[in-house]
Structure 1
Amino acid sequence: MSYQALYRVWRPQRFQDIAGQKAITQTLINALAQGKTSHAYLFTGPRGTGKTSAAKIFAKAINCPNLKDGEPCNECETCRSITQGQLNDVIEIDAASNNGVEEIRDIRDKAKYAPTSAEYKIYIIDEVHMLTTGAFNALLKTLEEPPKNVVFILATTEPHKIPLTIISRTQRFDFKRISVRDSCERMTYILNQEKITYQEEALTVIARAAEGGMRDALSILDQAISYGDDSVTVENAMSVTGSLTQELVLDYFDAIIQSNTEKGLSLLQSILSEGKDASRFVEDLILFSRDLLVYQQAPQMTDLLEGANVDEGFKTLSQTITAQQLYEVIGILNDTQQEMRFTNHAEVYLEVATVKLTQLAVAALVGSTAVEESRVNGNTQVEQQKLTDMEKELLEMKKQLQKLAKNGGTPQPPKKAPKVVSKPGNTQFKINTTMIHKLLSEATKENLAQLIDIWPDLLSMLSVTQRAIMKASTPVAASPNGLIVSFEYDILCQKATNDNELLEAISENLQRLVGYSPKMICVPAEQWPIIREQFLKLNKELLKKPSVEKSTSPAVVKGETQVVSDFEQENLASLETALPEPDEDETIVIEAMELFGEKNVEVKND
């Protein structure tokens, strides 16, 4: 079989042939020209971006006797042998199938021997993240103190799986996805060399479908050439990639603007029945929305567009659709794209997305009406509240005047206390008082002090999202088995209580920091003084009863007899000293809650 795929025939043989990686190739060229090469390199990045090609070019350049400006000559015996894969001193290893300790030990032992026909012995280890932990450990010492004239080049698509001890001993180069423009330039050069006719728009379609991989782009180009009988047209590229023409995309957006759900669903069925790829359909819509948004904000910067053709239809649409609509379109399409990854019925999600998109204008109108009604109702409630407050103040002033007239003295201004408002429909965060009281009966000052001391360290061990939830939290009581944490905001308290992953992370990290993992109970900051006072009051009354008997067992109730342990009495005294007495304002709030019920009281601080 004499024919070779384009990506094999046109594999880069010089650094300047590598598309879209100018910063990396220039750095390597300068290092080679100045003789400042390292003993180990790490090339990371998505598939098909030039990592292995760059490693082979580097192997040729460092061993080439005719090196010129950091580029290999590709004509000497050494360069030709490396290109053909026949030089014994350049060893290419696939770590996916040679990932054991024995294979790496063999490399380590052979690396001690001097190169036979070249100046440097080069080890290129592809997909290095597939090595086992033992293999990485075997490689570590060699990377730290390599033999003379030996260079290791590690290539991977998943650098996060490589131990930091390995990464720190290499020079790391991150290969980025190749832009549409760079991919098109490379394909144009290849087609011109192969003397194949093409349309520039077709190359843009292929480059977008390749998603930043040059090898993928050349594979798709190969298919398009075969499909079109040695010519590359837009129609052929669309058929091969499953992409949409701009006319179809404009028709679909027209249905969105007109809120024509029937037209949108009809277009969708027509597109899918033609064999278009569902994932590619969503991707094209997202990129087209992005181009519309860019053109709206900066119409003169057409070079930033990913592939949209700025024709009359595109210009008209950009003037008709709003930026807010485009934000919502991109959000809906992005959610649909994520959902489609885990289903075998992608068309169902596309139909749902089409209905949502074509009803955006209606939803926006209903939403604005609801906001206006809410604003009007809110103003009415505020005015009613103000009137009620004024009546209360007038009643208070009347009482003061009556007292003044009766006693002939000067009335004292009433002490300002928190406003307690009865709210029958209030939906406050529900607190498990029973669990809190049980935990408080076992709490100690030592446990609390220990957790307060390590609390900043604990937060730093959480993820960014978890740390944001716990940022406004403070430990207020602790025992070996439990921990009460106070939150400044009810919503964060609710989120923390319902987030099982967060609770597990805190438990595991506490086990590492203090050697035990207490169960965390969350309470709002404004409710904590009330709960604490209720617990102290309850236990004080319990200890004052004559029927109290001391026991070493936990506190239980048997008929009329209360049995309280010495441990709990000591902890109660400890809590009384550790937790300050509530002030007069808090006492008023507690009495109000006892009178009206905890759920029907809201505390407002003046």
Structure 2
Amino acid sequence: MSYQALYRAWRPQKFDDLVGQELVTKTLKNALMTKQTSHAYLFTGPRGTGKTSAAKIFSKAINCHFQKDGEPCNECDTCTSITAGRQNDVIEIDAASNNGVEEIRDIRDKVKYAPTECDYKIYIIDEVHMLSTGAFNALLKTLEEPPENVVFILATTEPHKIPATIISRTQRFDFRRIQPDTILQRMQYIVSQKQLKCEPAALKLIAKAAEGGMRDALSILDQVISFGNDEVTLDNALMVTGSVQNDELLQYLEQVTQKDTAKALEILHQILNDGKDAARFIEDLISFCRDLLLYQQMPEKVENDELNVVNDDFRNFSQKIKPEEIYQMIDLLNEQQENMRFTSHASIYLEVLTVKLATRQTTISPKTPQAAGEKLDPKDTIKVENLTRQVKQLQQQVEQLLQNQSNGQSVTATNSSRPKTTSYNKTQVRKTTAPAKVDLQQVYGVLSDATRTSLNELREIWDDLLNMLTVAQRAVMHVSSPVAASPDGVIVTFQFDFLCQRAQTDQPLKDTLENGLDRLIGHVPRLIFMPQEQWPQIRQEYLNGQKAQKHLTAGEDGQRTEQETPGDPKQPAPKDPVVDTALKLFGNEVVDIKND
């Protein structure tokens, strides 16, 4: 059999093997033991924390007939087939490459069929946040009421990208970053099982470099084993991870705090020449500064932390440096780390960072005169009084300005010594606000197929649709109402222009409205937002355009464009296209037909 990566060979096969997620595993095991499993689960959390592994373990446990205390037996045909990935009733889907509507519709069509071998059919959708809006809409109804023998397990690293309508239909479990000491214990167990030579300091370094991901830790360990010919040493771990030893970090910070720029640059160049990663160097510096701060406040915690080596040099340096200096260095490190994200010349940024750290000015927290027992200088007292007087004058001007605005009057300067203020009123403010943009082509497309039936259908469910929104979304839509609708589109007007603009640019609001419309009326019409004050003019321009087009067509065909003089009262009056359009839009119960 070919070699398997460590994170695959040592993938957890039962809940007890899933380290660092005790809250999740205990809840799932209790649900399995009491037969209180849900129809849909959502597993969220950083990469490499066990989301997909937990989904596969749950798939085995819920279908295993020899389950004990919520754990699968891993010996029956069902468990072995799921572990090997050949069980047809456990379907794993990668939403990153299958994110369209057609793929979800295929699931919706097949979910009605009973499982072939297992008791439950399990759908594991990984990276579910990559699904499109249409795919989420297609999944909604099935996810809410699937057949009794179907369970959905959704996994994602970015839950904020999933619609709230999906999250509300699932039981959510948040997988946390795994603590370094937990990762260390797991790696020690694996190394002992493989009977490898290992230095404890190397495993500690790998556990810190993994940043809470067990899969990342095992991948790094795999690289170190390959690099060192089945030997795990500290030097090999430093080489693979690009990390810097604490002694080198300490020497660098000592030269920086002593303002010795040349020596600090020399140490930096030596670190880079050894092949250390620039981004990892800044990460290690931030972590080292953090350890210094913690050691100054809680030395016992850092001393007892087995992932850190506190020696005499570290203790002496922590007594020399002040917390304010550490704060400054962390700020500069964070700033330069952000700048290095999009550059290919990281060494230049590190050199600039070194100069900044060595030439920075240490800030001293100011003391108030009262705390220091000092008295204000007479000149300073005069300055304070002048500033206080100016602030009072500015407050009076602001109050007068607001009062004049409410009365519609212009503001004029009352004193030549005061700064001049520009006069304006409510009309001017309204004119400076940019009007909401309206796509007339889309509006005319809806009006050409608009019917009274479609409008009445929307008006009946409009209040229910608004109740499905969040509080913030309802605040935007509470002054809106549908005024025209066709099977494919709806025109919604707003009483205030700024709320209309807000709705036009709020994509999550549109997505929620479309999801609600799909549930309430069974289809998703196109939403067109416009200010209420523009609607009568646009509607009249459309009707006039329809009438002009009718007259132009009649003239081209050689027919009479004038109206016939009224003759026999029994003879029906000729049909007017404008009247027909109005009847189609608004119905005949409120329309009076008047001849010109």
TM-score normalised according to structure 1 size:
0.64
Opposite residue 380 of structure 2, the aligned amino acid is V
CA contact (8 A) 2:43 2:156 kept: yes
Question: Aligned pair in 2 of structure 1 residues 440, 205: CA closer, same or farther (>3 Å)?
Answer: same
Question: Aligned pair in 2 of structure 1 residues 253, 513: CA closer, same or farther (>3 Å)?
Answer: farther
Identical residues among aligned pairs (%): 56
- Name 1:194's counterpart in structure 2: 194
State how 1:23-38 maps to structure 2 within 5 Å.
23-38=23-38
Question: How many residues were matched structurally?
Answer: 426
Give the secondary structure class of the aligned counterpart of 2:74. Answer: coil
- Name 2:236's counterpart in structure 1: 236
Give the secondary structure class of the aligned counterpart of 2:292. Answer: helix
- Name 1:312's counterpart in structure 2: 312
Structure 1 regions of 5+ residues with no counterpart?
A: 390-416, 421-429, 448-455, 462-479, 483-503, 518-606
Query: Are 2:371 and 1:364 equivalent residues in the alignment?
Result: no
State how 1:260-409 maps to structure 2 within 5 Å.
260-302=260-302, 305=305, 307-360=307-360, 362-364=361-363, 379-384=377-382
Question: Aligned pair in 2 of structure 1 residues 515, 181: CA closer, same or farther (>3 Å)?
Answer: farther
Shift in Å, 1:382: 2.9
- Name 1:486's counterpart in structure 2: none
Shift in Å, 1:376: 10
Q: Name the CA distance, whole Å, in 2 between partners of 1:79 and 1:457.
A: 47
How big is each residue's C-alpha offset from its partner over 1:150-170, in whole Å with a ceiling of 9 and x where there is no partner? 100011111111111111000
How big is each residue's C-alpha offset from its partner over 1:338-357, in whole Å with a ceiling of 9 and x where there is no partner? 11112222222212221222
Q: Name the CA distance, whole Å, in 2 between partners of 1:458 and 1:57.
A: 40
Give the secondary structure class of the aligned counterpart of 1:41. Answer: strand
Shift in Å, 1:2: 1.3
- Name 1:128's counterpart in structure 2: 128
State how 1:78-89 maps to structure 2 within 5 Å.
78-89=78-89
Shift in Å, 1:297: 0.7
Select between 103-112 and 299-308 the one with higher mean Cα deviation. 299-308
- Name 2:110's counterpart in structure 1: 110
Q: Name the CA distance, whole Å, in 1 between partners of 2:48 and 2:195.
A: 24
Structure 2 regions of 5+ residues with no counterpart?
A: 395-417, 434-470, 477-495, 507-527, 535-596
- Name 2:148's counterpart in structure 1: 148
Shift in Å, 1:380: 4.2
- Name 1:251's counterpart in structure 2: 251
Shift in Å, 1:28: 0.8
Shift in Å, 1:383: 4.3
CA contact (8 A) 1:291 1:305 kept: no
Question: Aligned pair in 2 of structure 1 residues 165, 317: CA closer, same or farther (>3 Å)?
Answer: same
- Name 2:52's counterpart in structure 1: 52
Question: Aligned pair in 2 of structure 1 residues 168, 89: CA closer, same or farther (>3 Å)?
Answer: same
Question: Aligned pair in 2 of structure 1 residues 203, 514: CA closer, same or farther (>3 Å)?
Answer: farther
- Name 1:182's counterpart in structure 2: 182
How big is each residue's C-alpha offset from its partner over 1:465-491, in whole Å with a ceiling of 9 and x where there is no partner? xxxxxxxxxxxxxxx999xxxxxxxxx
- Name 2:209's counterpart in structure 1: 209
State how 1:468-487 maps to structure 2 within 5 Å.
none
Q: Name the CA distance, whole Å, in 2 between partners of 1:508 and 1:146.
A: 34
Question: Aligned pair in 2 of structure 1 residues 64, 432: CA closer, same or farther (>3 Å)?
Answer: farther
How big is each residue's C-alpha offset from its partner over 1:35-75, in whole Å with a ceiling of 9 and x where there is no partner? 11100001111111111110000000101111111111111
Shift in Å, 1:230: 0.7
Opposite residue 261 of structure 1, the aligned amino acid is T
Give the secondary structure class of the aligned counterpart of 1:364. Answer: coil
Question: Aligned pair in 2 of structure 1 residues 213, 383: CA closer, same or farther (>3 Å)?
Answer: closer
- Name 1:493's counterpart in structure 2: none
CA RMSD of the aligned region, Å? 3.7
Question: Aligned pair in 2 of structure 1 residues 349, 78: CA closer, same or farther (>3 Å)?
Answer: same
CA contact (8 A) 1:243 1:280 kept: yes
Give the secondary structure class of the aligned counterpart of 2:269. Answer: helix
Opposite residue 211 of structure 1, the aligned amino acid is E
Superposition misfits of 4+ residues, deviation over 4 angstroms: 303-306, 375-378, 383-389, 417-420, 430-434, 439-444, 456-461, 504-509, 511-517
CA contact (8 A) 1:41 1:172 kept: yes
Question: Aligned pair in 2 of structure 1 residues 516, 231: CA closer, same or farther (>3 Å)?
Answer: farther
How big is each residue's C-alpha offset from its partner over 1:294-344, in whole Å with a ceiling of 9 and x where there is no partner? 111111113785843111111112212122211111111111111111222
TM-score normalised according to structure 2 size:
0.65
Shift in Å, 1:441: 5.6
Q: Name the CA distance, whole Å, in 1 between partners of 2:259 and 2:241.
A: 29
Question: Aligned pair in 2 of structure 1 residues 131, 431: CA closer, same or farther (>3 Å)?
Answer: farther
Question: Aligned pair in 2 of structure 1 residues 169, 418: CA closer, same or farther (>3 Å)?
Answer: closer
Give the secondary structure class of the aligned counterpart of 2:73. Answer: coil
